[in-house]
Amino acid sequence: MAEKEIGKVFSYFSNIGVAAINMTGKLKKGDKVRIKGHTTDFEQIAESMQIKGKEIKETKKGDEVGMKVKDKVRPNDAIFLVA
């Protein structure tokens, strides 16, 4: 499966299970993503994404996005789009 890096985690809010991501590519709701870092490696579907508290359907390069994640992530973990 081809994977393309589309962002990096810059913060994680453990109390709500949300990763804050700097986007370097596009991501749509329903896309499959892989989050990978030194101790992180899992796949999930992008179901809930927000910018400044507003639910969005897709991101673009340069967006700072909050995404609900199913597991703990860490700053500098990379987000890949799974094709």
Residue 76 belongs to domain with CATH number: 2.40.30.10
Confidence class for position 1, pLDDT limits 50, 70, 90: low
The answer to whether residues 24 and 5 touch, using CB atoms and an 8 Å cutoff, is yes
What is the radius of gyration, based on Cα positions, of the chain? 11
Range of the domain at 23: 3-82
Confidence class for position 83, pLDDT limits 50, 70, 90: confident
List pLDDT tens digits, range 28-67.
Answer: 999 999 999 999 999 999 999 999 999 999 999 999 999 9
**Percentage helix, strand, coil for the chain under 3-state DSSP, each rounded to 5:** 0, 55, 45
Q: What is the pTM of this model?
A: 0.94
Q: In angstroms, rounded to a whole number, what is the distance separating the alpha carbons of residues 56 and 64?
A: 12
pLDDT at 73 over 70: yes
Q: How many distinct structural domains can be found in the chain?
A: 1
